[in-house]
Every structure is written in structure tokens, then in C-alpha cells.
Structure 1
Amino acid sequence: MSIELKMPALSPTMEEGTLARWLVKEGDTVSSGDLIAEIETDKATMEFEAVDEGVITQLLVAEGTDGVKVGTVIAIIQGEDDGAIAAPKAAAPAAAQAPKPTEVAAAPAPVTAPVAAVSHSSGDRVKASPLAKRIATNSGIDLAGISGTGPNGRIVKADVERSTKNTVSAELFGARPTADSHPSTGSGLTVDGVDIPHEVVKLSNMRKTIARRLTESKQQVPHIYLTVDVRLDALLKLRGELNASLEPRGIKLSVNDMLIKALGLALIQVPKCNVSFAGDNMLQYSRADISVAVSVPTGLITPIVTDAANKSLSKISTEIAELAACAKEGKLQPHEYQGGTASISNMGMMGIKQFEAVINPPQAMIMAIGAGEKRPYIVDDALAIATVMSATGSFDHRAIDGADGAQLMKVFKELVEKPLGLVA
């Protein structure tokens, strides 16, 4: 019997996606659990596995096709219980008419369920994890020349990184890269009428979503910005003492861990800022869930520390380390990045003194953290040198009045400058 393979809903909010890459071709026999396609959502690229057994007779949607609605038939499988299996057509209409798109870096794929391992190659098809493919694409490495050490010979991240080191070493000692080891440039487009050498990079769904949401935020949300200077000396001293006691447990607190806790407590103490604007209504949250901005190769994602006000610093530190690692490897589950009542974005580690972050709707505020630096500062009515950072809160003025935003910034400053409240 013929089985219709439909575009799956890979997250609760997914309505459409991009069929990024076929991992099978017409005529291939697949079994339950075999990987058959990579599908790009607005957050990541996920591997899609077969449920039924049979032969792929038609690929109805060409790889690289955007906006494929959930439920759309994308391929036909001829079940093996049908006796004779019909031979596949010479070429699928969609695949024959659509040119194969240039492969570009895609968001890494979160692991939503255990998948069956597949062999390293089948015919001309190279089998590798999405993360390995992305690293190879960015580094100009041909996966066909790499031996996989993963299950059944599958190429994994470590294999590509090892190949990258070998390539760099060869170039240092005089070997020349091959002609196709770097992205090609084109001259088919012009900028203001000037033909500048360039390459065309297709936007991932994540980058498209970031662009759309931030544009909507700046167009629709009236931002108000409030900045305070915060002295860090007491917090840094407490952090050192806590880390000394936590070292046997393998936990090392970061300044950001402590600032997350401070923002969570401040939102509970100033509940008028722990809200969302919802048209004719206001959503008032009784729990502070803090979205933490994490940079990933394809953009930005915000894993969430739930109930940050009531978690210990050690628990926050452990969760953040795990969430950040999963985010960078593309393994976050939807519930780990969807939601949040407010956000924090820390660019201090990059030397940024102060910045104003864009609110992530439907949240109504985000805290932007700058670098801690030695500055002249008044301490006990005398001029001294102190470690100070600038923190800027961006507030949705439809939901939060300036006075309430100022109160939140005041409480946040007090919690950081008198940090014993973070461990009480």
C-alpha cells in the first residue's frame, strides 16, 4: 500500500517549516527509525525519522522549500506488505524542477527523541549529525573525506573538529586549500548600483524569526530605558567566598548567576514589572521566570530559569550551565526556551560598558548588563575606586510606568550591592 509521508509538527507552535534536506532518495528502502529528512523550524533544524517501512517512491517537495505547511504530503512510501513494490518514477516533479539550493549554515538540531543510528554513507549520501554538517559547512570541509566515529560510522562533531585542526595545520606548513574549500562569491546582485564581491547566504528560519520579532517589538512596543550604576565589590567578595565552599561539589558561581537571582527577586518585590501587555488585559505573573540570552552560531536563543527568585544560587548555576550547553549544541527542548516573564542579557564579558536591549514580546522588560570596571566612585562620602557596572532596563511603557520601572531598578541595585539577600 502507498503511505503518505506528511510534514510533521515538531513543536507545539509549529505551523510550517522548511524542508532543509532530504536524507533519502527515490528508490531507497527505509525502516522505522531511519532518518529521512532535516526540517527547519523557527528555532532549530530537527531530524525527522521514518515510522513505516517500505520504499521511497516519490519525493514531492524539493529540499530547500520554505513555508511547507504542517500536514502537507512531502513523500510517498510504498509499503513492503503490498507484495510487489512499484518502481519509482524517473524523477519526482518537485525535485526535478527545483534547483538544489546552496547549502548554508542551519540552526543545530535539538534532540527531541532517541533516533536510530544510520550508516556513514549510502551510495553518494554522507551520514553526519546536523551539528557536524554545520561545522563542516562553516569551515569549508568536505564531509566525504572524513571517517566517522559515531554509531555505525556516522560523522559527529569531534570528527569534523579533528579534520579542521588537520586542515589548519596543513595550511600553516604551506599546503594550499583546494579551490572549493571556501564559499564562492557572486556578482549577480548589486548594492546601490555598485557591484561588490559577495556571497548570498540564505537566512535560517531562526534568523527570519529573530528579524521579524525584533522588528515588531521596536515598531509596536514603546520602549522606555532606565539605567543605574551598580557597585559590585560586595557581590564579588561574596561570590569568592561561596565558590570556595562550593568547590568540593564542582560548582562555580558566575556573576551572571547572581544577577539572574537578583532580577528574579526584584520582580517578585515589584510585581507591577512582572507583567505582560495583552490588549485590553494585563497578565500579572506570580512567579519570576527569567529568560537568559545565549548566543548560538545561527542567532540568539533564550533558555529559561523558572522560578528564579526561589532557587538557590547553586541550582541556578547548574541549570544555566546545562541550558547554555544544550542551546549551543541545539539540544534545547521547546519547554526550555518558550515562555519567561522577563529577560536578562549580559554583554559585560565582551567589554560592552552599556547597551539598551530590545524587549522580547510578550514579555514587558529586559535587563541589559554591562561590564564591571574600576571607576571613581563615592564611598561613604569620600571619593574612592570601586568596581561598577551599568545596568539598563528596557520596559514596555504600555504595561509599566516609569516610576514602577525605576522602583525595579532601585531594588535590583540594592540586592546586588547588599548581596546577602541573594542567599537568605
Structure 2
Amino acid sequence: MSTVVRMPEVLAGTTEAAIQTWMVTVGQAITVGMPLAEVETEKANVEYASEVDGTVLKLVVAEGQDVRVGDPILLVGAEGEGTDHAELDGPGGQGSTEAIPPHASQAGASDASESSASDASSPAAEPADQSRRFISPLVRRLVKEQGLDLSGVAGSGPGGRIVRRDLEGLSAPEQATAAAPASTPEPTPAAAVAPVESTGGTTTEVPHTGMRKAIARRLTESKSTVPHFYLVADCRVDRLVALRKEVNESASVKVSINDFVLKASAMAFIDVPEANATWGESAITRYSTVDMSVAVAIDRGLVTPVLRSVERQTLTEITRSVADLAGRAKAGQLKQHELEGGSFAVSNLGMYGVTEFSAIINPPQAAILAVGLARQQPVVVDGEIEVGTVMTVTLSADHRVLDGALAAQWLAAFVGHIENPLGMLV
């Protein structure tokens, strides 16, 4: 019996996504775990793997087509089985959608398939000369927000599809100058912000992006439902600063203070394993490995890719892993598993001159460490005042998972490791 595969909620809070690239074709045999498609969301491109065995009978949606979570995208069954299925005609189904021929997204696709994909990919708000082009959902949003002109852009995606990397180097003001006669005012793009007059000057309204809405929803939920409490500690990091300088003088990879913070956090969980846990409706889950999220600021907001088994990684391995995740986060190329899991997060604003702040927990994680600037200040040692390098950290903890004493034990262990950094190198 055939099975309808539906658009998954590939990331928490996702309500809509798009098939960026089909990785299977009609008639192909698939097994559990085999990649089916790259799914594009507001945050990342996610590789979606099959949860069933069988043969691909029908690709229900075209590449680039926006699909609600829960809608059919694929029909799988036995070889030679028909493509009719009751669920494709029910609520949320797309039974009227024609099956997409194998390789329909490539250059040799039929005119009918190209027309269908183009119509689904191009909203009415886009200029007419862009309405029949293959454009990824992420690019469509950037076109609206930034008023970009794609008339001279050659797509590098499947079938000439314009993807995010094709926008590198483009800017709306430069294109407008080149495209519009000097005597003609530049038209206002559909999603451009409009000035609003006020007695104190002018203001602008910036429409909410999908990512901004998701951030607002999840963090509001966290502050409303998770009982936060906060612990603050000042770390004396003179030894760490000196050791980092010495390491970087001879290492091929430059280690940051944040890399030491990640390593010290992982070692603190080894010392206090009860703190490595998350909250669930029926139970608290404890973990044997330390997987932690690293906050990465991108153009559209904030993403938190997960660094796996940090306790097993050397400082240079942590450096490379963080650089890789941050680079792909900014390029919108993170995969689903890289945004899931983790029991802990680190948010560092020290590079912006922030000395101290409190961060909001990202459920179901139980804690997040906010890291401030390492700065010189007077320090009292044995009754004498001297200049020391101090870094203030604030632990936000979920009181349902971590009691005050347990959180304090973890923070004390962290301070011990960060103030004696040589132990992180052995």
C-alpha cells in the first residue's frame, strides 16, 4: 500500500517550507535514512531523510514551491503501484498536482513543468520580468526586503534557478542607478519600508520576517513558561589571556577566548554531570555527552547550531567546528540535525564591548551562559589592590531542571576551569 510523505516540521516553529532540490526521482527505490530532498526554511537549508522504504511513485510538488507543514510532498509505494491515493485529495492534499517527471528541475525539463514551478515560485508582488524565472524562496524574500533587481542575474541552481549565492555583490541602490533613467524617480519596491511622519521626525516600519516572528514566539514562550533564575560570577582570566597568546603564536589555527569558554563549559559538565539535562513533560532527560548550542548572529536574526561532543574535542577542533557552523549559518546552509538537540548554549557579546548581560533559555535546553568582555579592572588580592583581567559570566538556568545549589556547583566548576586553562590543553 502506498504511503504519503508530508512536509515535516524540520525546525521547531516552522509552518511553511519549500523543496529546494529533489534528491530522488520517480521510479527510484529508497530506504530509511536516504536523503529525499533539500528543504528550505527561513533559517536554513535542511536535508530531509526518508522514514520509509519503497519506490518513489510521485513527486507531488515542484522545486521552489512553498508548502505548508503537513501537506503531501511525495508518494511512496511498491514498484508498479498506481499513483492514486485518497490522502492526496483530502484536506491539505494536492491531488490535482501532476506528477513531476524525473529530472524535471534540470535544464531538460518540459515546458509544462517549468511553467508550474515558475508560477509557484514567483509571487505577484515581484516585477513582471522576474515572474517566469526559477527563484528560491529565500531569494524571493530578499528581493522583497532589499528591492533587488534580478534581471541581470544568471542562476547557478538546478535548471538555472537563482539561489542565495547568486546575490553576492548585488545592492539595491547600485542596481537602481544603473537601471533607471536619471530623470525618473526610483519606484518603491513592494516590501520596502515606508516613512511615517511624526512630530519628532520620521520613523520607518520594518515588516516582520518569518525568522523574526519565530524568534519572538519562542523567546516569549520561554520567558512566559520557563522559571528562569540567574547566577553571576567574575572570572579572573589573566592566565587564559596569556595562554591564548602563547598558543596562537605557534598554532596554525587561531583560538579565541570563546573557544576556551566552550571547552571549560564542557569540562564543567563532566565534573557536574547532573546538570547536563533537559526538561520534558514526563521526565528530565540526562545526557552522557556534551552537545551545546552556539549563538550565531546573521542578517535575519539569530540561529543556534549545535556543537556535538564538545568534551571530546581539542581547542583547535572546537575552533574549526565553530568556524564551519558559523560560516554555513550565515550562508543559510545548515542542515536539520545541526540545529536540533543540545542541553546547553553559550552566547558571547564580549566582542561588542558588553561587560555583563542575561540571556534567555532556548527550550528544551535547561541553561545558557552569557559571556561578557574580558577587561582590566582593580582586583583585591590578599588585601592589596592590583590590576587584573576579569570576565563576567551569567548563567540563566531552568529551575525545573536545575536547583540553585546544582547550578552553583556547575558555575563554580566552570570558573575553576576558565581560571586554570592549562588543564584544557591536556
**TM-score greater than 0.5 by the shorter chain:** yes
TM-score, length-scaled by structure 2: 0.70
What is residue 188 of structure 2 aligned with on the other side?
Answer: 180
What is residue 73 of structure 1 aligned with on the other side?
Answer: 93
The number of residues matched between the two structures is 366
What is residue 226 of structure 2 aligned with on the other side?
Answer: 221
| Per-residue Cα deviation, 1:182-215 (whole angstroms, up to 9, x for no partner) | 844569x999xxxx975562541x4333223222
Cα distance in 2 between the residues matched to 1:125 and 1:47: 27
Cα distance in 1 between the residues matched to 2:236 and 2:250: 24
What is residue 31 of structure 2 aligned with on the other side?
Answer: none
| Per-residue Cα deviation, 1:36-82 (whole angstroms, up to 9, x for no partner) | x996647446699xx7899x9x99xx97776664564345116779x
Is the Cα–Cα contact under 8 Å of residues 230 and 390 in structure 1 kept in the other structure? yes
SS at match of 1:125: coil
Cα distance in 2 between the residues matched to 1:52 and 1:367: 48
Cα distance in 2 between the residues matched to 1:183 and 1:263: 43
Cα distance in 2 between the residues matched to 1:10 and 1:344: 25
Letter in 2 for 1:17: T
Q: 1:267 aligns with which of 257, 269, 272?
A: 269
* Cα distance, 1:154–1:380 mapped onto 2, change above 3 Å: farther
Displacement, 1:222? 1.0
Cα distance in 2 between the residues matched to 1:52 and 1:202: 39
Is the Cα–Cα contact under 8 Å of residues 295 and 305 in structure 2 kept in the other structure? yes
What is residue 329 of structure 1 aligned with on the other side?
Answer: 331
Task: Tell me, yes or no, if structure 1 residue 126 matches structure 2 residue 133.
Answer: yes
Displacement, 1:223? 0.9
* Cα distance, 1:214–1:413 mapped onto 2, change above 3 Å: same
What is residue 235 of structure 1 aligned with on the other side?
Answer: 240
* Cα distance, 1:420–1:213 mapped onto 2, change above 3 Å: same
Structure 1: runs of 5+ lacking an equivalent: 24-30, 82-86, 104-120
Cα distance in 1 between the residues matched to 2:190 and 2:360: 35
Q: 2:410 aligns with which of 408, 411, 414?
A: 408
Q: 1:146 aligns with which of 115, 132, 153?
A: 153
> Which aligned pairs between 1:298-377 and structure 2 lie closer than 5 A?
298-377=300-379
Cα distance in 1 between the residues matched to 2:360 and 2:418: 23
Structure 2: runs of 5+ lacking an equivalent: 27-36, 49-55, 74-91, 103-110
Displacement, 1:127? 3.4
What is residue 397 of structure 2 aligned with on the other side?
Answer: 395
TM-score, length-scaled by structure 1: 0.70
* Cα distance, 1:404–1:40 mapped onto 2, change above 3 Å: same
Displacement, 1:163? 3.1
| Per-residue Cα deviation, 1:387-408 (whole angstroms, up to 9, x for no partner) | 2111000111122121221121
Q: 1:163 aligns with which of 170, 188, 192?
A: 170
Cα distance in 2 between the residues matched to 1:156 and 1:22: 9
* Cα distance, 1:184–1:124 mapped onto 2, change above 3 Å: closer
